[in-house]
Structure 1
Amino acid sequence: MVGRMRESSASANGSFTSAMTLVEKGLTYVPKRYVLPPSLRPDGTLCDTCLPIVDLSNRQHPLLRSQIIQDVHLACKKFGFFQVVNHGIPLSVMDNAIDAASEFFDLPTQDKRHLLSSNVCDPVRYGTSLNHVKDKVHFWRDFLKHYANPTSTWIDLWPSNPKCYKKKMVNYTMAAQKLQEELMEVIFESLGLNTNYLHEDIAEGSQVMAVNCYPACPEPDLTLGLPPHTDYGMISIILQNHQGLQMMGRDEKWHSVPLIEGALAVLLGDHMEVLTNGIYKSVVHRATVNSEKKRISIVSLHSLALGKKVRPASDLVNEQNILSYKEGGFSDFLDFISGEDIVEAKYIDTLKINT
């Protein structure tokens, strides 16, 4: 894998210009390749519905846990999204992760270029937009993605510059993995499944850290940091230092996710939709940009291990809820995005059974 990463980096280097580089040049306009068609641009129209917040402080309390289960069920059913507070990850650990990410993106391009890759299978890759080599329209984002679970397998491949990166990011990564395991138990319980359902597969599953930088943009109304999309996995846990995440409600209206100190956003992914046989749906979301601040988001993407398949839970398939999805896995998703434009095609559609 590492050899392939270096090879793909070399082939991609020639045409690479990061979003951070454009900002450093002092551009007062958005280059043409970043200008979205009018139908995809953020128009500022947002729904003011209050989004669900789940307090996890009593998740181990035998009498009070039931309220959390109910809150999670309603949030998953209505939105496919909720924020969690009192989740057990110290604020200092989250702040350190944001600081490490910010320091990485502030490095000169030549200090990050060796990680540059357009190969979605590489375990560590740096890039811009979605895939700057093949994107028809670019997005105002630089990213670093790396595998994380178990950290002992992958940490040596993570950036060594800045020097603080591994130390600060590993603490948050491991905490996010632990939180994900607890959240999956709560979600399974909200579906009437055993809390130990897929326990080993969840603990040994894939964790990909998508570390995103959205620089201040001179014309934020013309572009996006990321287009509307769903995540492929079971759940995604999102840490952000500034507001910019927006999710689409079942009413097909956009909601801005508020920035709450210490809170983490939890989004359901395509594989959760498959596992629940459509009882819970993955949530469409996007990243907006602003003209004043660089925004950092750290997304902990969780799915089963690369070679494992997710299929609808047998207890959730019956005459009233007939089998509606084929099995799929992380490797299938990588194959999909290698050949498809996610702006135009949806991975979840490949997993639906036409009835």
Structure 2
Amino acid sequence: MEENLEISADDPIIDLSPLHHNPLFVIKKIHEACRRCGFFHVINHGVADSVIEEALNVNRKFFELPTEIKEELWSDDVQKVVRFGEVEVGGISREFLKLYAHPLHQYVSSWPKLPLHYRERMGLYATEVRKLSIELFGAIMESLNLSETHLKQNFEQGIQILGINSYSPCSGPNATTGLPPHTDHSLITVLLQSGPGLQVIDCRSNMSVGGLWKNVPRLNGSFQVLVGDHLEVLSNGLYKSVVHRAIPSCSNTRLSIANLHSLRMDEIVEPAGELQENEGRYKGSSLRDFLKHLASRDTRPFIETLRIDQVES
């Protein structure tokens, strides 16, 4: 694996180990990170290193399979619960695998059969990261001065999607600009990287003039937690979904595993009543609304269709 890059003050690192004996300290740091940057690193999160390494290894092996085997899972249907695909933009090549993962018993039999032990190892990984995500979501709710149990049951019953990406080494003209920037449609995304490559809009830059890109270092054994569109809606804009993109390595294949956590498919997310002050700034929407938007020809980012000032203009 590639070495960690230098960590700066603008790379918020949340140590979860004090959460149960000093929760206010952790929750305050989460609030500052979500409001200021829209993401944070999480360490001492309780997911075993062996589970993480096996998830990365089994997915490396999947993407190394012969093309004809992978293409058995190919689909351009964005609502398909298991989907393989390939994308090439400006010389940047990406293969991806999308897996619905919760409830696990409902989906795991549809996952790839190869390589051997894929379902077992990714099932364990998905389960462990989901436990972490439930804990993180409760802390994030508290960081908004909401109850730790706000939407807890809804989140636990919600949808978990694994977005697994393999980026081939790139030396072309887009090697420094990467793939198109975007925000995630989720409440939160818990991201695992095999090496550096994540960039976010620098929280210190002026978004009105386009913003500046910042490299997010990779910390061994850590996850990156990203604020998604539906958390921006739920927080009534207090937390903004982070604009990010992937930059491929010049020398190695880069792998990422994104755990995207949402409520149930048709459950509406809208601003929490306690955070609306005079009114909500966003209209409600569901995961299905996002998938319909994705399948449409609307080129606007999904979050822009939800902001009431944008919707009414």
TM-score, normalised via structure 2 length: 0.91
Q: Which residue of 1 aligns with 2:48?
A: 90
Q: Which residue of 1 aligns with 2:60?
A: 102
Count of aligned pairs: 299
Q: Which residue of 1 aligns with 2:231?
A: 272
Relative to structure 1, is the Cα distance of residues 334 and 58 closer, same or farther in structure 2, using a 3 angstrom cutoff?
same
Q: Which residue of 1 aligns with 2:122?
A: 169
Partner of residue 179 from structure 2, selected from 226, 241, 263: 226
Pair 1:347-2:302 in alignment: yes
Q: Which residue of 1 aligns with 2:265?
A: 306
Give 1:187 shift. Answer: 0.4
TM-score, normalised via structure 1 length: 0.81
Residue 310 of structure 1 aligns to a residue in which SS?
coil
Partner of residue 334 from structure 1, selected from 291, 299, 302: 291
CA contact (8 A) 1:220 1:291 kept: no
Q: Which residue of 2 aligns with 1:68?
A: 26
Residue 181 of structure 2 aligns to a residue in which SS?
strand
Cα separation, 2, equivalents of 1:223 and 1:340: 28
Pair 1:51-2:6 in alignment: no
Partner of residue 117 from structure 1, selected from 50, 75, 92: 75
Residue 189 of structure 1 aligns to a residue in which SS?
helix
Give 1:219 shift. Answer: 2.0
CA contact (8 A) 1:124 1:158 kept: yes
Cα separation, 2, equivalents of 1:77 and 1:91: 29
Bigger mean CA deviation after superposition, 250-259 or 232-241 = 250-259
Give 1:339 shift. Answer: 1.1
Give 1:271 shift. Answer: 0.3
Give 1:293 shift. Answer: 0.3
Cα separation, 2, equivalents of 1:223 and 1:258: 16
Residue 229 of structure 1 aligns to a residue in which SS?
coil
Q: CA RMSD in A?
A: 1.9
Relative to structure 1, is the Cα distance of residues 139 and 332 closer, same or farther in structure 2, using a 3 angstrom cutoff?
farther
Relative to structure 1, is the Cα distance of residues 224 and 166 closer, same or farther in structure 2, using a 3 angstrom cutoff?
farther
Runs of 4+ in structure 1 over 4 Å off: 136-139, 222-225
Give 1:249 shift. Answer: 2.4
Q: Which residue of 2 aligns with 1:317?
A: 276
CA displacement 1:259-315 (0-9 Å, x = unmatched): 111110000000000001001100000000122000100000011011111010000
Query: Which amino acid in 1 is paired with 2:149?
Result: N
Q: Which residue of 2 aligns with 1:145?
A: 98
Give 1:226 shift. Answer: 3.0
Cα separation, 2, equivalents of 1:282 and 1:330: 15
- Structure with max Cα Rg: 1
Give 1:224 shift. Answer: 5.7
Pair 1:292-2:254 in alignment: no
Query: Which amino acid in 2 is paired with 1:142?
Result: E
Query: Which amino acid in 1 is paired with 2:305?
Result: T
Cα separation, 2, equivalents of 1:90 and 1:74: 27
Indicate the percent of aligned positions where both proteins have the same amino acid: 40
Gaps of 5+ in 2: 1-6, 206-210
Relative to structure 1, is the Cα distance of residues 86 and 220 closer, same or farther in structure 2, using a 3 angstrom cutoff?
farther
Pair 1:78-2:36 in alignment: yes
Query: Which amino acid in 2 is paired with 1:50?
Result: D
